[in-house]
Amino acid sequence: MTKFDIELVGKVGSMALIDKQNNDIDYNVLARISRELKPGYLWVTSGATEIGRLDYIHRNGKELKGDYNDIKTDYAAQGQSILLETYRRFINSNYSVRQFLVEHQHFNEPMKCEHLKAALLRCPEQRAIPIINYNDPVCSEENRKMEIQSLRSKSDKVVECIDNDETASQIACLVKPKNLLILSGLDGIFTDVKDSSTLVRTISGANAEEVLAHIDYYQNYCDGASRKGANGARAKLEYVKEPVKLGTTVYIASSKYKISDILNDKVPCTKIGIDLK
């Protein structure tokens, strides 16, 4: 029987946290997620850039203008504190909350990788909830590309962390969770995203090789993304391959559902893993 070190690594996407109608944080979603977080759960969150953008507009009546990467940096820096404060507001007050801002080198450099892993694994025993996000405010796109190119000259396996779906999957590879949950605006993977009846409920197999082959098959049906900079369902399926190899069960589900209902198979979602019943 596979031994797991963590119960859950979860991730929520930017647009799942936004109330589009009112151009604000969707406090109902964030509160519901936060109240379910507990020791043994590691939570990867997007949203800092979009929340920072909305906060800037609310305070100044207009958007920033200029270089896209500079604007993204400024919005992300403004949104990080709001995002973490909102999680802290709704997470059980008996638990500590710890922020981890990661970059690609934390997964590509063995010493940094081990340091991060140890810090995350200490959290459950210390009754702390890690809130993890990519460190957009200090990550220059140009520098990141140069660093990745340099790493690729030395190794075939390089982690980019181009979005938080990849970050969550890399965290899962580090800490070996029983479950990896990817929340978004959709119920899961569809063979036709315009037809709700085509939801793929299960992607499974007798072993990792079979599961990966079935993932490859369903990637052929995936196209498009919810926002600029996102990589869509095809990329989600690609990123979860490594955790699946380690025996982790993956759920891709909508943020409108409770975490507990998803994990207990009470709501529609896509469940991926070895020998699923």
Residue 242 lies in a domain: yes
Range of the domain at 177: 6-274
Count up the domains in the chain and report the number: 1
Going by C-alpha positions, the residue among 41, 36, 34 that lies closest to residue 175 is 41
Per-residue pLDDT reduced to its tens digit, 36-85: 999 999 999 999 999 999 999 999 999 999 998 899 999 999 999 999 99
Q: Which residue has the higher pLDDT, 264 or 277?
A: 264
Going by C-alpha positions, the residue among 211, 197, 204, 271 that lies closest to residue 241 is 211
pTM greater than the 0.75 cutoff: yes
Per-residue pLDDT reduced to its tens digit, 87-117: 999 999 999 999 999 987 888 888 999 999 9
d(CA 156, CA 264): 38
* 196: CATH: 3.40.1160.10
Contacts of 144 (CB under 8 A, 6+ apart): 103, 104, 160
Residue 179 lies in a domain: yes
Residue 1 lies in a domain: no
Residue 234 has pLDDT above 80, yes or no: yes
Residue 80 lies in a domain: yes
Per-residue pLDDT reduced to its tens digit, 146-193: 444 555 556 666 555 568 899 999 999 999 999 999 998 899 999 999
